[in-house]
Amino acid sequence: MSNYVEMWKELGMDLETHDALCQVLPTAFGDMYLSQENRPEGMGFWDFVVSEIHGIRPSELIEAQKNGQKVFGTFCVYVPDEVVLAANGIVTGLCGGSQFWVPGGEKVLPKSTCPLIKASVGARLERTCPFFRIADMYVGETTCDGKKKAWEILGQDVPMHIMDMPQMKRPQDIEKWADEIKIFAKVVEDFTGNAITPEKLSEGIHVINERRKALKRVYDARKSKNIPISGKDALLMMQIAFFDDPVRCAEMANKLADELEQRNKDNVSVFPAGTKRILVTGTPMAIPNWKLHHLIETSGAAVVCEETCTGTRYFENLVDETKTTLEEQYAAIADRYMGINCACFTPNSGRVDDILRLAKEYDVDGVIDVNLKFCCLYDTEGYTVEKAMKDAGIPVLGIETDYTDEDAEQLRTRIEAFVEMLG
């Protein structure tokens, strides 16, 4: 990483501890990523972002702040980026994906909290991530119990706005979500000092839709019989999409998609013919959580799709761009977001339908349903998912894991056995 020490110092970071993180990341990335063969050239951009992960984007954000823009840190794919964009704000995803931050989180949270929440709280309180330092306001949501209580702790350290997520998807719930979006818009307007107009919101909606389309193009290319990109590489693009500039992200994803579409024409595959195709479903994999993908892709299989928040849930469905009044636009935004199926809703049968559909579209040999340890929602829903897959004759393996490496070899045995089972 280039020299960003001054910037980190100004952000009030714990430099000594942060150095330790900066030292392990390149090795992990080299082992897991750079060792892959025949990677698409279009991965160069995403590799570069990782190599400068705590430098390049943070310095852009700080520059924007100097020009009067506000940065909003978010933790969930239900928080509508378009509203922030409409007020000339910037969104950056803040989910922690490394064990490095977990002990810091455990100082204030129960051990039986999911690693994503522990890492996110740890990254803030231990002052070891620039993004957590830069964000002017955090936006939380009431998706799960762990997060709800964590917001109360984070809220003591940083300005927070919490969006009240419905737990069901009845018409009155979707209406309520449109209301929540309106309330959020007011908060964003007040915080940025910029009024949200229908024109501005329309622009915001368009920018985010374009990013969705670009990311989806990369995913669509993964449906091909050859496998033009590894699951690990696609995951990396998704992880970076959460904090990169949305316009540049779309441009780079489109560039990657161009290359993958060409690879499909030329029948180029990054895995040998006959490699088993896996659909990963379940909990999000925040950067740098590459554990499961790496295990799968070094056990004789390839990940061809992710039904996760760091996968299809992030870009599926578009917001209707034809609306012209704020009222209609907020309703259209609410509709789009309530079309995503997270385990925090009940009932959530739409998610099972999604998985069955994706399994078919991506022509998968098996499904690996993964939940982060102590994620009660996805763990419990795992029963329904597994049952639905078995009923449909799709082999499925349920896995629970966290950010540590201590279970890696046991997981490898199970994944290898699963791949052997696929024949």
Minimum CB distance to other proteins smaller for 171 or for 274? 274
Q: Minimum distance from CB of 387 to other proteins (Å)?
A: 10
Minimum CB distance to other proteins smaller for 203 or for 386? 386
Query: 213 burial class (0-12, 13-18, 19+ CB within 10 angstroms)?
Result: middle
Minimum CB distance to other proteins smaller for 247 or for 417? 417
Q: Positive or negative, the Cα torsion across 134, 137, 143, 146? A: positive
Instruction: Kindly state the helix (H) or strand (E) to which residue 201 belongs, with its residue range.
Output: helix 198-221
Length of the chain: 423
Q: What is the 3-state secondary structure of 217-275?
A: HHHHHCCCCCCCCCHHHHHHHHHHHCCCCHHHHHHHHHHHHHHHHHHHHCCCCCCCCCC
Distance CA 82, CA 56 (A): 23
> With contact defined as beta carbons under 8 Å apart, do 360 and 392 qualify?
no
Distance CA 208, CA 202 (A): 10
The bridge status of strand 160-163 relative to strand 137-141 is parallel
Q: Minimum distance from CB of 413 to other proteins (Å)?
A: 5
Minimum CB distance to other proteins smaller for 223 or for 414? 414
Q: Which residues contact 370 (CB under 8 A, 6 or more apart)?
A: 280, 281, 282, 283, 292, 398, 399, 400, 401
Two tokens, residue 188? 């964003």
Q: Minimum distance from CB of 414 to other proteins (Å)?
A: 6
Minimum CB distance to other proteins smaller for 77 or for 295? 295
Give the binding site for other proteins (CB under 8 A).
Answer: 390, 395, 400, 406-407, 409-410, 413-414, 416-417, 420-421, 423
Q: Minimum distance from CB of 37 to other proteins (Å)?
A: 21
Q: Minimum distance from CB of 386 to other proteins (Å)?
A: 9
Q: Minimum distance from CB of 381 to other proteins (Å)?
A: 15
Minimum CB distance to other proteins smaller for 84 or for 296? 296
